[in-house]
Structure 1
Amino acid sequence: MKNPLDSAALAAAIEDVHRAGMPGLFAEVRDGDRVWRGAAGVADVATGRPVTAGMRHRVGSITKTFTAAAVLQQVERGRIGLDTPIGRYLPTLVPGERGDAITVRMLLNHTSGLAEYLPYAYPSLKAYPVLADTGPQSLDDHRFTRFDPTELIGMGVTAPAVGAPGGTPGVYSNTNYLLLVQLLERVTGTTAERCITRDVIERAGLRDTGLPTGPYVDGPHSRLYEAWFGMIDPPRDYSVYDMSWVGPSASLVSTVSDLNRFFGMLLAGEIVSPSSLAQMQRTVPVVSQEGKTIDYGLGLHPMEGPGQGVFWGHGGTVWGGGALAMIRADGKRQMAVAVNLQRWNRLDSSGEPQPHPVDDALATLYRVAMYG
Structure 2
Amino acid sequence: MRNSLDSAALEAATENVHRAGVPGLFAEVRDGDQVWRGAAGVADVTTGRPVTADMRHRVGSITKTFTTAAILQQVESGLIGLDAPIGRYLPKLVPGERGDTITVRMLINHTSGLAEYLPYAYPSLKAFPDLAEIGPQSLDDHRLTRFDPAELIEMGVTAPPVGAPGGTPGVYSNTNYLLLGRLLEEVTGTMAEQYITRNIIERAGLRDTGFPTGPHIDGPHSQLYEVWFGMIDPPRDYSVYDMSYAGVAAALISTVADLNRFFGMLLAGEIVAPSSLAQMQRTGPVISQEGRTIDYGLGLHPMEGSGPDTFWGHGGTVWGGGTLAMTRADGKRQMAVAMSLQRWNRLDSTGRPQPHPIDAALETLHRVALYGGNPHETGRDR
Shorter-chain TM range is over 0.9
Kindly indicate whether the alpha-carbon contact (under 8 Å) linking 1:84 and 1:103 is maintained by their aligned counterparts in 2.
yes
CA deviation digits over 1:299-346, x for unaligned, max 9?
Answer: 000111499821000000000001000000111100000000000001
Partner of 2:265: 265
CA deviation digits over 1:173-214, x for unaligned, max 9?
Answer: 000000000000000001001100011001110000000110
3-state SS of 1:62 partner: helix
CA deviation digits over 1:253-311, x for unaligned, max 9?
Answer: 00000000000000000000000101111111100111111110000001114998210
Kindly indicate whether the alpha-carbon contact (under 8 Å) linking 1:308 and 1:371 is maintained by their aligned counterparts in 2.
no
1:348 partner amino acid: D
3-state SS of 1:156 partner: helix
Kindly indicate whether the alpha-carbon contact (under 8 Å) linking 1:204 and 1:271 is maintained by their aligned counterparts in 2.
yes
Kindly indicate whether the alpha-carbon contact (under 8 Å) linking 1:322 and 1:342 is maintained by their aligned counterparts in 2.
yes
Distance in 1 (alpha carbons) for counterparts of 2:288 and 2:11: 30
Kindly indicate whether the alpha-carbon contact (under 8 Å) linking 1:321 and 1:342 is maintained by their aligned counterparts in 2.
yes
Kindly indicate whether the alpha-carbon contact (under 8 Å) linking 1:71 and 1:184 is maintained by their aligned counterparts in 2.
yes
1:4 partner amino acid: S
Distance in 2 (alpha carbons) for counterparts of 1:108 and 1:248: 12
Partner of 2:184: 184
Distance in 1 (alpha carbons) for counterparts of 2:134 and 2:294: 25
Partner of 1:198: 198
Partner of 1:255: 255
- Aligned pair count? 372
CA deviation digits over 1:46-86, x for unaligned, max 9?
Answer: 00000000000000000000000000001011110000000
Kindly indicate whether the alpha-carbon contact (under 8 Å) linking 2:308 and 2:329 is maintained by their aligned counterparts in 1.
no
Distance in 2 (alpha carbons) for counterparts of 1:209 and 1:351: 36
1:336 partner amino acid: A
Kindly indicate whether the alpha-carbon contact (under 8 Å) linking 2:307 and 2:329 is maintained by their aligned counterparts in 1.
no
Partner of 1:239: 239
What stretches of structure 2 of length at least 5 have no aligned partner? 373-382
In the superposition, the TM-score normalised over structure 1's length comes to: 0.99
2:5 is equivalent to residue 5 of structure 1: yes
Equivalence map 1:39-50=2 (5 Å): 39-50=39-50
Partner of 1:225: 225
Distance in 2 (alpha carbons) for counterparts of 1:225 and 1:53: 18
Distance 1:65 1:306, change over 3 A: closer
What stretches of structure 1 of length at least 5 have no aligned partner? none
User: In percent, how many aligned pairs have the same letter?
Assistant: 83
Distance in 1 (alpha carbons) for counterparts of 2:358 and 2:285: 27
3-state SS of 2:45 partner: coil
Shift of 1:248: 1.5
3-state SS of 1:187 partner: helix
Equivalence map 1:282-297=2 (5 Å): 282-297=282-297
In the superposition, the TM-score normalised over structure 2's length comes to: 0.96
Kindly indicate whether the alpha-carbon contact (under 8 Å) linking 1:64 and 1:250 is maintained by their aligned counterparts in 2.
yes
Distance in 2 (alpha carbons) for counterparts of 1:83 and 1:352: 37
Equivalence map 1:1-372=2 (5 Å): 1-305=1-305, 309-372=309-372
Kindly indicate whether the alpha-carbon contact (under 8 Å) linking 1:201 and 1:210 is maintained by their aligned counterparts in 2.
yes
Distance in 2 (alpha carbons) for counterparts of 1:303 and 1:129: 22
1:342 partner amino acid: Q
Distance in 2 (alpha carbons) for counterparts of 1:49 and 1:306: 41
Kindly indicate whether the alpha-carbon contact (under 8 Å) linking 2:308 and 2:330 is maintained by their aligned counterparts in 1.
no
| Backbone CA RMSD of aligned residues | 1.0
Distance in 2 (alpha carbons) for counterparts of 1:106 and 1:80: 14
1:21 partner amino acid: G
